[in-house]
Amino acid sequence: MESFGFDFIDDLASRCRESLPLEETLTDAGPYRALTRADGDASAGWIRRWSTPDSALIDRMIHIRLQADPVDTQLFFLFGRSPTAMPHFHAQVVQFAPDACVYNADFMARLDPVEHPDYFAQLFAPLSKPYWRAINDPQNKCAMAPANPAIAAYLTPWSIGVGQPTDRAELDRVTPQIHAFLDHYLGLARSLDYPIEDADAQSARDRAHLDSFFSDRLDRRAWNGVYGLIGEAAGKNLKDVLKTPLS
């Protein structure tokens, strides 16, 4: 089965490598971490991780691929440095048939919109045009409400994604809008200058945010699937890779 989901996420990672000072962490065997099936030695995918210089607003980029035939899951994150206001970027494609998938792409805000309306105006207002283009296309299922509002609460109202299965054609239609999201994010990574009064408190908020976002309770079915594929210990280690800043 051709993995158009992998191609889509791999292209996002390539765009980031062209724009940011990213260095991949490699082992003798290749990616940062190979994943194997809990019921044997067969490959279940991998974790790729990139770091940045200490001066960058981005702390790490991560691409996780989980393969449980026929399902091919791609998780992609750019994490802003923990003491800063730099948002996180998240994209995901779960492909489960030659022409069927679910997907989403969004930012994760680092500050409260009531206390910092100027932050939201600066960072998220530019997302409105690509967001409306995506959800106003009647062919797209992303116009529907999110499948899990509990997860959506940790993202932003600008999320482009589907809760019901859709096809490759929709992912192709929204690709320019998701690229616009990413281009805006990469621009922020080069230029954002938003003051944080208490860096320690900001880092603590980030830890709490990511602990909640990656908790089992938020999407128990998905995490149980991960544990069933690679084992609970490896699954929790995967979470730690996502949650733990490199600097």
Per-residue model confidence as pLDDT tens digits over 47-106: 999 999 999 999 999 999 999 989 999 999 999 999 999 999 999 999 999 999 999 999
Count structural domains, the chain. Answer: 1
Burial of residue 209 (number of CB atoms within 10 Å: 0-12, 13-18, 19+): middle
Helix crossing, 168-191 with 4-19: angle to 10°? 20
CATH code assigned at 198: 3.40.1500.20
* Peptide bond just before 195 cis, omega within 30 deg: no
Q: What is the DSSP string of 139-179?
A: T-GGGSPPS-HHHHTTS-TT-EE-SS-B-HHHHHHHHHHHH
pLDDT of residue 152: 81
The confidence band for 30, taking pLDDT boundaries of 50, 70 and 90, is very high
CA–chain centroid gap for 45, Å, is 17
Q: What is the domain range of residue 175? A: 4-243
- pLDDT at residue 147 tops 80: no
